[in-house]
Amino acid sequence: MPRPVSSIPNLGPASEAAFARAGIHSAEEIEALGPDAAYESFLRAGNPPHFIGYYVLVMGLQGRPWNDCQGEEKAALRRRFDAIKARVAARPSSAMIDAKLEAVLDEIGIRPRR
């Protein structure tokens, strides 16, 4: 039986739901992809980028607490995060475009708020 995404230290139900939107449904899938490819899929599914969310994932896959990341290690992870965001921005997915369109429609009041 596959382990849920939330079995990775530092990840909970919100992360599990966000990764599910990316088609990733188990901890084993994230482990096989690695943190960078998994996070890129997460972004391509229309989830918003968040540096803390990225390094929490990296720390969790290493079995470390989320707040264990500091100094040069954190700076290096920031560079990796920025590179992932740049790759995704250079080639947006239809899910990303749909998510942005829905946000704009909500903001200007074209449809009722959820």
Q: Which structural domain, as residue segments, surrounds residue 104?
A: 5-108
Residue 50 belongs to some domain of the structure: yes
Residue 113 belongs to some domain of the structure: no
Number of structural domains found in the chain: 1
Q: Using CB atoms within 10 A of its CB, is residue 22 exposed (0-12), middle (13-18) or buried (19+)?
A: buried
Structure tokens at 90: 């250079």
**Residue 104 has what pLDDT?**
76
What CATH number did the domain enclosing 99 receive? 1.10.150.20
Residue 39 belongs to some domain of the structure: yes
**Cβ atoms of residues 8 and 57 within 8 Å:** yes
**Residue 90 has what pLDDT?**
86
Residue 114 belongs to some domain of the structure: no
Residue 34 belongs to some domain of the structure: yes
What does each of the 114 residues of the chain score in pLDDT, given as a tens digit? 999 999 999 999 999 999 999 999 999 999 999 999 999 999 999 899 999 999 999 999 999 999 999 999 999 999 999 999 999 988 766 656 666 677 777 777 776 655
